[in-house]
A and B are shown apart, each in its own frame.
Chain A
Amino acid sequence: MKLSIRHRMAALVVVSLLVALLVISKVAKSAQAADGPTAANVMAAEEDLARAMRENDPDGIARWLSDDWAVISGKGGVGEGKSIFPDGIRQSYLTRKTFEISEPRVRLYGNVALVTTKVNTSGMFGGKPFDVVERQTDVWVWKDGGWKCVLTHETLEK
């Protein structure tokens, strides 16, 4: 009988915790959507994408990129498709040691944001080391209550 009461209490605690987590998660989600596009939350997205790049986290990168994402590389080439960086990391073709952003310039035009940053990045690309300074513009589009990057345009600084 005592064991049964303990079990019931434990079950009650577990269920209560699950319900509380569910409520908190729903409130947090609706709060993000209710905020709508702002310079602050697009900069947060930019910083998390930079963190994913720095940590060579392919899933973290893919999560922020739109299906139609493309990159204009520092050499002026055009790469289409959100899997370019994640695949490069998984195949160890691209491994970053550093990816630091600074001097952000953020402009919001309705559901579209332009974030230009200075990027200090180094690592290995195709078996060769690199260490460069770039100026990069990420174009973000607000979709379904969150930001997705649709274009990255890189320029090598002289």
Chain B
Amino acid sequence: MRSHVHSKMLVVLVVPILALVPISASARDGKPEAGPTAENAMAAEEELARAFRNNDADAISNLLDSSWAVITANGDVAEGPSIFPEGIKIGYRTLKTFDMSEPRVRLYGNVALITIKLDLAGVFGGKPFDVLERETDTWVWKDGGWKCVLTHESFVKHS
């Protein structure tokens, strides 16, 4: 009787575990199989925006490629994915607002171009700023996920 109960318990415990194995495997395989799409590129863009909004240095780093560079709204070129994360960590750059709108998404094979309008406010080098920008992020699909390789910013000016 006791061994019968044990057997039943074993079945109750083992069967769901066995059932989870193929589900987990297919979910894991599902991401690379999905491949690059406009939807998952936009999801990466939104994740990066959230990381900026939350001043989350590590989350920003995770989404930037080692070859990443930024063309700032003043027209300067800055190389290296550590620029924004380090600025946040040392308190040089703190964002209060990072709201994006008007997304334009184009997919060219393993590369996605996402242009957005940005409402940006915070403190930079001890000085407050509140600006409107148009930004293009170029994303490259690598090892089953998106990495941002270039951010090009411009101020939006109304003439």
Q: Which residues of A contact B (CB under 8 A)?
A: 68, 70, 72-78, 103, 105, 107, 109-112, 114, 116, 118, 133-135, 137, 139, 141, 150-151, 153-158
Q: Which residues of B contact A (CB under 8 A)?
A: 67, 69, 71-77, 102, 104, 106, 108-111, 113, 115, 117, 132-134, 136, 138, 140, 149-150, 152-159
A74-B154, A75-B155, A105-B69 given. 8 additional CB < 8 A pairs?
A75-B157, A76-B117, A111-B108, A112-B109, A114-B138, A135-B75, A153-B154, A155-B71
| B71, B76, B117 interface centre (most CB from chain A within 10 Å) | B71
Inter-chain contact B104/A70, CB cutoff 8 Å: yes
Q: Could you say which residues of chain B place their CB within 8 Å of the CB of A72?
A: 115, 134, 136, 152, 154
Inter-chain contact A156/B75, CB cutoff 8 Å: yes
Q: Could you say which residues of chain B place their CB within 8 Å of the CB of A118?
A: 75
Q: Could you say which residues of chain A place their CB within 8 Å of the CB of B110?
A: 109-110, 112
Q: Could you say which residues of chain B place their CB within 8 Å of the CB of A107?
A: 67, 149-150
A155 CA / B72 CA spacing, docked (Å): 8
Q: Could you say which residues of chain B place their CB within 8 Å of the CB of A133?
A: 75
**CB < 8 Å neighbour of B106 from A76, A78, A151:** A151
